[in-house]
Amino acid sequence: RTCDQLRCTACDFRVSLFNDYVWDQSCDYLFFRNNMPELGKLRAKMIKKKGARAYACQCSWRSIDELTDLQTEQQLRWVCGKH
């Protein structure tokens, strides 16, 4: 279970999450910088994968397909944005 109100302290963007998708390996910083939060543009690099979840802000992104502790990822600066 994860917070659905994550916010990035690096770019000050809300972290978007997409159920049943992963990010294409060709994704890079400029892709997210130029396309967040436009879902229509982001879909170009989303791959359908049942049970996975794709996360992204404007400067970081992750695809998760198994139980993972995101707090161990030191380069991520995502925190609960409060409910």
For 18-40, how does the pLDDT look when each residue is reduced to its tens digit (9 = 90+)? 999 999 999 999 999 999 989 99
Q: In what order do the strands lie in the sheet with 46-56?
A: 16-23, 46-56, 61-64
| Residues of the chain where predicted confidence (pLDDT) is lower than 50 | none
pTM: 0.84
How many distinct helices (H) and strands (E) make up the chain?
2, 5
